[in-house]
C-alpha cells in the first residue's frame, strides 16, 4: 500500500514544482492527494504587503483596488487548478487525486489526516510576507495542529518556506 502525501497549493503548480515534489519521493511508493482552496476571501492588506515585499508595484495597486472574487468564480478557478495539478502529477507517472476545499484549508487538512494514513504534507505557496513572518501561513499552522511532517515550498522555486 502506498504512502499518502497531501499537497496543498493555492495555485496551479509549475512543472518545476511537480518535479521537485515527485523527486522527493522517487524511491518510495506514494500517491498524491492534492487540495486546492477556493479563494473566496482575500485579505487585501496581506495581498498588498505581499506584492510590495516582492517589489510588485502594479500588482500591489491591483490588490488594493480589487474586491474579493465572486464565490462561483473562485470555485471554478479552484477546480481548473485542481484538474491541472492532478494531470501534472499523473503525467509524471505518479498516482494522484484531489479535491477543492474551503478558503481556509486547515479543517480539510485536519479531516484528511484523521481519516487516512498521511505520511507527509507538502504546502506550495507564493511567499506571503505577513503570514510567513508571523507563522500564520498554512504550513506553520499545519505544523502546530497536526502530528505529520510538513514541508513548505515556494512555487516556481526550490526555496523552502
- Total domains present in the chain: 1
Cβ atoms 103, 39 nearer than 8 A: yes
Phi and psi for 27 in degrees, rounded to 5? Answer: -95, 10
Asked whether residue 51 is domain-assigned, the answer is no
Asked whether residue 66 is domain-assigned, the answer is no
**Predicted confidence (pLDDT) per residue in 70-100, tens digit:** 666 777 888 999 999 999 999 999 999 999 9
DSSP, collapsed to helix, strand or coil, labels residue 30 as strand
Q: Cell digits for 50?
A: 505581499
**Predicted confidence (pLDDT) per residue in 136-156, tens digit:** 578 888 988 998 999 989 877
**Predicted confidence (pLDDT) per residue in 4-25, tens digit:** 999 999 889 999 999 999 999 9
Asked whether residue 48 is domain-assigned, the answer is no
The closest alpha carbon to 35, from 88, 106, 91, 140, belongs to 106
Cβ atoms 72, 38 nearer than 8 A: no
Domain that holds residue 127: 3-41+71-154
> Domain of 77: which CATH number?
3.40.50.620
Cβ atoms 68, 43 nearer than 8 A: no
Cβ atoms 110, 120 nearer than 8 A: no
Asked whether residue 114 is domain-assigned, the answer is yes
The region, left, alpha or beta by phi > 0 then psi within -120 to 50, assigned to residue 136 is alpha
Amino acid at each position: 500500500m502506498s504512502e499518502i502525501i497531501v499537497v496543498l497549493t493555492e495555485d496551479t503548480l509549475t512543472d518545476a514544482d511537480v518535479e521537485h515534489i515527485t523527486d522527493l519521493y522517487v524511491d518510495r511508493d506514494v500517491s498524491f492527494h492534492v487540495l486546492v482552496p477556493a479563494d473566496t476571501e482575500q485579505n487585501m492588506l496581506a495581498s498588498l504587503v505581499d506584492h510590495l515585499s516582492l517589489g510588485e508595484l502594479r500588482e500591489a495597486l491591483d490588490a488594493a483596488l480589487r474586491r474579493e472574487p465572486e464565490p462561483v468564480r473562485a470555485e471554478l478557478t479552484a477546480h481548473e487548478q485542481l484538474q491541472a495539478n492532478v494531470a501534472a502529477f499523473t503525467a509524471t507517472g505518479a498516482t494522484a487525486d484531489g479535491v477543492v476545499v474551503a478558503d481556509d484549508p486547515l479543517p480539510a487538512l485536519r479531516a484528511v489526516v484523521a481519516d487516512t494514513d498521511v505520511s507527509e504534507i507538502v504546502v506550495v505557496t507564493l511567499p506571503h510576507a505577513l503570514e510567513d513572518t508571523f507563522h500564520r501561513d498554512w504550513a506553520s499552522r499545519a505544523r502546530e495542529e497536526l502530528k505529520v511532517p510538513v514541508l513548505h515550498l515556494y512555487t516556481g522555486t526550490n526555496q523552502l518556506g
